[in-house]
Amino acid sequence: MRILAFTAAAFAAAAMAWPVASSAAEPGRRVPAPAVDLAAPPTLKYDTAVFAGGCFWGVQGVFQRVKGVSNAVSGYAGGDAKTARYDDVGSGRTGHAESVRITYDPQQISYGKLLQIYFSVVHDPTQLNRQGPDTGPQYRSTVFAENIEQARIAKAYITQLNQAQTFGKPLATTIEMSKPFYAAEAYHQDFLTRYPRHAYIVFHDQPKIEDLKKLFPEDYRQTPVLVNTAKSS
């Protein structure tokens, strides 16, 4: 998903003519639920989770269509504030990964279920520093744990999936603790919904939405919750 620096208007205009990449997204699979999960305190109204799994367009698009999620913002995590810009992150030298911060209601969906969807349909967690045609540490598979409990649940789940040889090879997913999240530029937000015919979206990300609908029908919502609610449909 590497691009040259564009103005927002030029980027939008170029979106419809984006060249098709060489390999499509891997088919999703519903992996077993985590054996260990977080119990939500009855008074907790919302919580947040930050995941990185390749180009943030598709990651955001999936979680915007998950019941219990009230917001999903594309951005950067893992590096410093001064380099949290798309043209810098694309160099692969900032420490940042393209990430999505998810705000969710733990009374409706658990952190463990979010992880299950993340490993099942969002990306291929066995790929090291890449997803499909996108290469570099900015596309790494990483759980940015907000606290020790999230780190514990994620670590236990990765161990569970590895021990069961769920993917036939070890997961490349890492866990990074307490790294600040920085929202991406406005032209990246809600990208999948705003540009559904963009070739990259059609080829790599729309299949993830179909996988979510097919593999997690109980969690799928038809109408996405968007950062720019004025463009909600």
Angle at alpha carbon of residue 124, lines to 119 and 130, rounded to 5°: 130
Rounded to whole angstroms, how far apart are CA atoms 17 and 19?
Answer: 6
Strands (E), the chain: 47-53, 69-77, 97-104, 130-131, 134-135, 141-145, 174-177, 181-183
HSE of 139, CA atoms in CB hemisphere, 13 A? 22
Please report which helix (H) or strand (E) contains residue 214, including its range.
helix 206-215
Rounded to whole angstroms, how far apart are CA atoms 15 and 177?
Answer: 34
> In the annotation, is 55 catalytic?
yes
The closest alpha carbon to 70, from 187, 231, 222, 224, belongs to 224
Q: Which of 49, 52, 55, 121 is catalytic?
A: 55
User: Which residues are designated catalytic?
Assistant: 55
